[in-house]
Amino acid sequence: MKKIFLTLFLSVSLLFRAAADEGMWLPLLLGQQVYNDMVKKGLKLTKDQLYNINKASLKDAIIIFGGGCTGEIVSAEGLIFTNHHCGYDAIASASTMDHNYLRDGFYARNKGEEIPTTLTVQFLLRIEDVTKEVMDSLQGLTGAERWKKQMDVLAAINKRMSDADQYIETRVSSLFKGNQFLAFVYQRYGDVRIVGAPPESVGKFGGDTDNWEWPRHTGDFSIFRVYTNPEGKPAKYAGNNIPMKPKWYLPVSIKGLKDGDFAMIWGYPGGTNRYETSYGVQLATDINNPSLVKLRDVRLKYMFEEMKKDPAIKLQLASSYASIANYWKFYDGETKQLLKYDVFGQKKKFEEKFIAWAKGKPEYQYLFPDWEKSYAAWNKYARQRMYVNEGVLGSPLMSYIGSYLIPLENVLIKPGISKADKKKAIDAAIENRKKFLDKENKPSDLNILATTTMLFYQDVDKDQHPIGFYGTLKNQYGPLSDEATYKKYAADVFSKTMIFDDARWDAFIANPDAATLQADPAFNHLSAFYTNNYVSKYMPFFQQFTMQNAEYGRLFLKGIMEMDPVKAKMMYPDATFTMRVSYGAVKSYRPRDAVFYDYVTTSKGLLEKYKAGDYEFDLPARQIELIKKKDFGQYADKTRNDLVIGFITTNDITGGNSGSPVLNANGELIGLAFDGNYEALSHKLAFDKDLNRTINVDIRYVLWCIDKLGGAFNIIKELKIVK
C-alpha cells in the first residue's frame, strides 16, 4: 500500500507541476521528479540540504511559532523572524500604557533587555510514514466504528512516539482524507523572548483596508529568540538559560530580486480542502460564509467604536480585533471568488465524470447519492450552528462561560466526580475569569450580545429557537422587532451576572453549587442557546454529518486515484498544519482588463498612502523623514533607486504560513510571507493558477526598519548577510 501510494503521488504531482505553481509538498515525499522540476526552475540546493533526518538541513531552521504561525531561525544564537501579526498578542500582552511596545515598537539593545513571553516554538525532528500500521488496524471497518478505531490508533501512536521528559511530541496527520498517515515528531521549546518589533503603524500599515490586497506596504515582521537550559536542552524560562544553538539557520540576502526569480516557501500551512465536493462549495457560499461575515461584522463594528475612543481600550482589544477582522475579510472574498469563477460548476463537472466511472463498482457507485442525502440532512441546521459559534459565542462573556463555566456545571451535577477534578474545574474558572476581565470591554460586549440575540431571532428557523426564550424576552422587555428590546435585555444580563460582581463571585466560589450557577442570567443565556438547544438537539446531527463526510471523502479520494491517476489533478495532500514546501517565482500579474500589478512595491508608494494621524495609514515621523532623504543605506534597490517594501510570488500558501521564509535559489532569506491576494481568496477550496499570489515583506525593508528606523544594529550584526 505504502509503495503504491507514493509512486502514484509522485507521478500525478509531476504532471500537475508542469501546469502551475500549485502544491504544498511534504519534504519527506519530495521525489526525484519533483525535485528535478525545482532545479529546472532555478533551485541550487541538493535534496539532502533541503530535508535530511540524519544530519542538519534547511528544515531544521523552520519552526512552528506559537499556536498557528511559522517562524525561521536566522542566526547562530536562536534568533527568530516571523510576522508582526504572529507576535501581535505577545507584544500587546507585554505592553502597558507607560511602555506601549505595540504602539511605539521595541528593540532590545542586548540580550538582557529581551522580554519573556508565554510563547513556545516547535522544531520538526522527523516524519515517519505509519500508513500501514493504521490501515491494518482498520481492515473491514466502516462508518462510526472505523472513525473511533482510527482515533484510538492515532492516539496510541502519538503516545508511543512522544516523550514528555524530552519535550518531544508526536502528532499523526491524516492525509488525502484518511488514505495516508504520517507521524510528525516535534521538540517543543518553552523559553521564547521578544527581541524586536516595529511600531504597529509599520507592522500593520494599511490595516483592514489593505488586508488581503496588493499593492501592499506593510512591514509585517517581529523578532524573537529561543533559549535553552545551559546544557542546550529545551526548558521553561529561567534566568540562567542561554540562546539556542540551532542545527541550521538561514542566511539573509540583500542582493535584490527580479521578475521571474525562483522562490521557495517553507512553513506550516494550516488547512485547505481542495478535494471538497460541489455540495461543500454550495454550503460555504450559501450559508456558512455569509453567516460568518455578517456576525463578525457586528463584533468588529462595536469593538471598533470603543477602540476609537481611548488608546487604552485600543490596546486592550487590539489582538482580538485583529484576529476577528482577518478572516472576516477572507471569507467575504472567498465567497465572491468561488461564485465569480463558478467553482461549484467546475466541481460538478468532475463529479459527473466520477459518477459515470463508478457505475458497476460497488464501493463507489452509491457514493454521491448517499453524500447528497447527507448534505441535505445537515444543511437545514447549518445556519443555526454558525449563529451559535459566531453569534452567541461571539460575545466574549459567553465565550468565557462556554469554555469554563459550562464544564464547571458538568462536574457539579455529575455524580462520582472526584474532589481533584472539581478543584481543577473551579481553579480553571477562577484563573480564566481574571484573564477574561482583563480583556473585557463591557460596552462593546453588551452590544454584541444584544445584536446577535436579535439576529438569531431574525435569521434562524423559528423551529430551531431555544424553547420559550424569545417568548419570555418579549413578555419582559418588549417587541421582538425592536432593537431596544434586546439592548434592555443585554443590559440586564450584564448588570445582574455574578461574573462582574466580585462579592457574589467569591461567595459562589466559597460554596460552588449548580443551582447558583444555573440561576445566573449570563449562564442562563448561554445554556438556553447552547447546552439546552444546540448541544442536546442539533450537535448529534453535526457529528453524524461530520463522520459521514469524512468517510465519503476518503472513498472519493481513493476512487479518484483508482479512476485515472494520469489525469487526476492536484494530487498533493491538503494542508494540515504540517511542514510543507511550495515553489514558484517572483511574478507580476494582470488581475483584470487594463490593470497591471508590478511584482514589488516601494517607499514611493508608501508615501503615497501615508496619511498623518490616520488609524490605518499613519507612519512614524522619523520614517517619513528618512524616506524623503532616501536614506536607505545598503538596503536600497539599485535598479529602482528606492527601498523595496513588499513583493509577490506565485507560491501556494494558506493560513499558518504567516511568517514563513521566502527563499531564493540558494536557500537565502529574501522575505517573509504574510498574506494572499484578494483575487484568489478561493485558495482553500480551489487554487487559481493564473491569479494566485503570495504577498511578502521584502527582507531589505525588514532590515532597514531594524537598522535605520529602529537603531538596533546589534541585531543586524548577528545575521549572516549575503550582499
For residue range 80-100, what is the model confidence (pLDDT) as tens digits? 999 999 999 999 999 999 999
Contacts of 427 (CB under 8 A, 6+ apart): none
Q: Which residue has the cell 449563529?
A: 387
State the virtual CA torsion across 227, 228, 234, 235 in degrees, nearest 10. -90
C-alpha cell at 497: 451576572
The Cβ of residue 10 has, within 10 Å, a number of other Cβ atoms equal to 17
Phi-psi region of 562 (alpha: psi -120 to 50; beta: other; left: phi over 0): alpha
C-beta separation of 55 from 644 below 8 A: no
pLDDT tens profile 518-546: 999 999 999 999 999 999 999 999 999 99
Quickly list H helices, 139-224: 143-160, 200-203, 207-210
Mean pLDDT of 3-10: 34
Could you tell me which residues are beta bridge partners of residue 69?
Answer: 65
C-beta separation of 673 from 269 below 8 A: no
Q: Is 136 exposed, middle or buried (0-12, 13-18, 19+ CB in 10 A)?
A: exposed
- 552-576 burial, b at 16+ Cβ within 10 Å, e below that, comes to bbbbbbbbbbebeeeebebbbbbbb
C-beta separation of 67 from 186 below 8 A: no
DSSP 8-state symbol, 25: B
Instruction: Identify the sign of the CA torsion 681, 574, 660, 257.
Output: negative
User: Residues 172, 173, 179, CA angle at the centre, nearest 5°?
Assistant: 115
Report residue 327's pLDDT band, with 50, 70 and 90 as the boundaries.
confident
Q: Minimal CA–CA distance to 677: which of 659, 660, 696?
A: 696
DSSP 8-state symbol, 535: I
Q: Minimal CA–CA distance to 319: which of 98, 88, 102?
A: 88
Contacts of 247 (CB under 8 A, 6+ apart): 56, 60, 61
pLDDT of amino acid 596: 97
- Minimum mean pLDDT range among 95-104, 105-114, 421-430, 558-567: 558-567
Report residue 144's pLDDT band, with 50, 70 and 90 as the boundaries.
confident
Q: Minimal CA–CA distance to 274: which of 481, 576, 561?
A: 576
pTM of the model: 0.90
DSSP 8-state symbol, 563: H
Instruction: Identify the sign of the CA torsion 551, 553, 558, 559.
Output: positive
Q: Minimal CA–CA distance to 157: which of 192, 119, 118, 130?
A: 130
Element (H, E) at 580: strand 580-585
Mean pLDDT of 649-667: 97
Report residue 572's pLDDT band, with 50, 70 and 90 as the boundaries.
confident
On the question of pLDDT at 412 being above 60, the answer is yes
Q: Which residue has the cell 431596544?
A: 484
Q: What are the distances in angstroms from CA 50 to CA 44, 57, 580, 663, 665?
A: 10, 6, 11, 12, 12
Mean pLDDT of 358-374: 97
Mean pLDDT of 334-355: 95
CA distance 544 to 386: 17
Report residue 238's pLDDT band, with 50, 70 and 90 as the boundaries.
very high
pLDDT tens profile 272-298: 999 999 999 999 999 999 999 999 999
Mean pLDDT of 308-312: 92
DSSP secondary structure letters along 95-120: --SSS-HHHH-EE-SSGGGPEE-S--
Angle at which helix 419-439 crosses helix 406-413, to 10 degrees, equals 160
The Cβ of residue 585 has, within 10 Å, a number of other Cβ atoms equal to 18
DSSP secondary structure letters along 59-84: GGGEEEETTTEEEEE-STT-EEEE-H
pLDDT of amino acid 568: 55
pLDDT of amino acid 570: 53
C-beta separation of 624 from 614 below 8 A: no
Contacts of 144 (CB under 8 A, 6+ apart): 547
Contacts of 517 (CB under 8 A, 6+ apart): 405, 408, 409, 412, 508, 523
Contacts of 248 (CB under 8 A, 6+ apart): 56, 57, 58, 59, 60, 61, 73
User: Residues 34, 176, 330, CA angle at the centre, nearest 5°?
Assistant: 90
pLDDT tens profile 673-700: 999 999 999 989 999 989 999 999 999 9
Element (H, E) at 128: strand 121-129
On the question of pLDDT at 567 being above 70, the answer is no
Instruction: Identify the sign of the CA torsion 655, 333, 618, 607.
Output: positive
State the virtual CA torsion across 298, 616, 677, 340 in degrees, nearest 10. 40
**Secondary structure (3-state) at 661:** strand
Mean pLDDT of 368-375: 97
Mean pLDDT of 422-442: 96
Largest distance between two CA atoms of the chain: 74
Report residue 623's pLDDT band, with 50, 70 and 90 as the boundaries.
very high
- 260-298 burial, b at 16+ Cβ within 10 Å, e below that, comes to ebbbbbbbbbbebbbbbbbbbbbbbbbbbbbbbbbbbeb
Query: What are the domain boundaries of the chain?
Result: 59-257, 278-555
CA distance 675 to 722: 26
Mean pLDDT of 176-202: 97
C-alpha cell at 519: 440561576
Active site residues: 85, 220, 658
pLDDT of amino acid 79: 98
What's the mean pLDDT when you consider all of the chain? 94
pLDDT tens profile 483-523: 999 999 999 999 999 999 999 999 999 999 999 999 999 99
Instruction: Identify the sign of the CA torsion 455, 457, 463, 466.
Output: positive
Percent of the chain scoring above 90 in pLDDT: 90
pLDDT of amino acid 564: 78
DSSP secondary structure letters along 585-607: EB--B--STT--B-SEEEHHHHH
CA distance 713 to 188: 30
Report residue 6's pLDDT band, with 50, 70 and 90 as the boundaries.
very low
**3-state SS of 236-302?**
ECCCCCEECCCCCCCCEECCCCCCCCEEEEEECCCCCCCCCCHHHHHHHHHHHHHHHHHHHHHHHHH
C-beta separation of 464 from 381 below 8 A: yes
State the virtual CA torsion across 251, 255, 261, 265 in degrees, nearest 10. 30
The Cβ of residue 2 has, within 10 Å, a number of other Cβ atoms equal to 12
**Secondary structure (3-state) at 185:** strand
Q: Minimal CA–CA distance to 677: which of 704, 645, 656, 647?
A: 647
The Cβ of residue 541 has, within 10 Å, a number of other Cβ atoms equal to 16
pLDDT of amino acid 38: 93
On the question of pLDDT at 32 being above 80, the answer is no
C-beta separation of 386 from 287 below 8 A: yes
On the question of pLDDT at 20 being above 70, the answer is no
Q: Minimal CA–CA distance to 106: which of 189, 192, 193, 190?
A: 193
